[in-house]
Amino acid sequence: MVRILIVGAGIAGLSLARALEQRGIIPDVVERQTTWNTGGTGLFLPGNASRAFSHLGLLPDIARVAMPIRYQRFLSQDGHELNAINTERFWSACGPCLALSRAEMHSILLSGVKQTPIAMSRSIDQIQSASDACEVTFEDGKTERYDLVVGADGIRSRVRDLAFASLTSVYAGYICWRFLTENTGGVDSWTAMIGQGQTLLAIPVSPSMAYVYADRSVELGATRPYSDTTSLERLFSGFSGPLVSLVKTVPPETKVHFSQIETVPSGTWRRDRIILIGDAAHASSPSMAEGAGLACEDALVLAELLSKNGAINLALEVFVQRRERRVAWVQKQCAARDRMRTLPAFVSSPLLKYFGPALYKKSYTPLLASI
């Protein structure tokens, strides 16, 4: 029986564990965190992401707790609607657009992994890779031999640091704040307000709660004054409209997650019997909301190839070939969207108003195709 180690028990790692179990392969999973740290933020799943989780057999559970997102609305910073994309119609042949809390998503993925052992608080220290196997030394000093090691450990990937020295995360040019709060603004769809170098986004994740995401373009050397205690009311004082109430009075007990946005540019995902998936391999900016979808698609393709092809090296080679073009497309679209957000409002607002639907269609149409 092939021995597979999955490093990381987030969306990518648990999706792969589930996909392998469906095909009769039971991997080992290790997670460096001592507890599940998934609360306080939300998740938006475009139609291709829902389709991927449907292949895992998890879509009914997700849809049971998620909010359907039938429109994506783009507003100017003074609250005027620039356009509204009918996402239900656009993704109809693919899957529904859904929003839910990250904690609920993680709980569903965990419950979907029935047989795979998950070792918490276990980190890897070294990996010795060859063309036929890997020797993994853990921080407790124990060494085990695996036929394949999968780095599914996110943007701060330990596997990537150990085995792919030239593949590093880079600052994308902006910082963000994320939190869940009571939906006092009555937001009923994915709604983004676009200002020059600033975005305020809210998505309903339950009948009473909304996920709020706010970002700001900042030079790398100028990020120090910002933190999770930054006054978002003051930062977005130039905005007016339906989302402003969500940042005016953030309850003191609300956990606000502050971070720099980083990406992992295209590079090598495979070295001998080590492969990277999800954000560890190709983290993108959140402007396309494709992180979870690409991670789950990675998991499905890798599990399919490993189960059908006894030659692991060939399976890994084909995996990279099948995934690199789709990932490169998403990263290219993210970069284009991020550049547009830095344009003056008198340029970006007309672009979104008159060309927004065409730009949306151009960005997402390739993702309607099956993986």
User: How far is residue 225's CA from residue 148's CA, in Å, rounded to a whole number?
Assistant: 43
| pLDDT tens series, the chain, 371 aa | 899 999 999 999 999 999 999 999 999 999 999 887 777 799 999 999 999 999 999 999 999 999 999 999 999 999 999 999 999 999 999 999 999 999 999 999 999 999 999 999 999 999 999 899 999 999 999 999 999 999 999 999 999 999 998 899 999 999 999 999 999 889 999 999 999 899 999 999 999 999 999 999 999 999 999 999 999 999 999 999 889 999 988 888 899 999 999 999 988 999 999 999 999 999 999 999 999 999 999 999 999 999 986 799 999 999 999 999 999 999 999 999 998 878 888 888 888 899 999 999 999 999 999 99
Dump strand ranges (E) for the chain: 4-7, 28-31, 42-45, 67-68, 71-76, 81-86, 98-101, 118-120, 124-129, 134-138, 143-146, 148-151, 170-182, 190-195, 198-204, 209-217, 257-263, 270-271, 274-276
Give pTM, 2 decimals: 0.96
User: How far is residue 227's CA from residue 223's CA, in Å, rounded to a whole number?
Assistant: 9
Q: What residue ranges do the domains of the chain occupy?
A: 4-169+263-368
CATH fold label, 4-169+263-368: FAD/NAD(P)-binding domain (3.50.50)
Cα four-point dihedral sign 62, 68, 72, 76 = negative
Q: Which residue has the tokens 């179990």?
A: 21
Q: Which residue has the tokens 């698609």?
A: 297
Residue 78, token pair as written in the block: 């003074």
Residue 108, token pair as written in the block: 């569903």
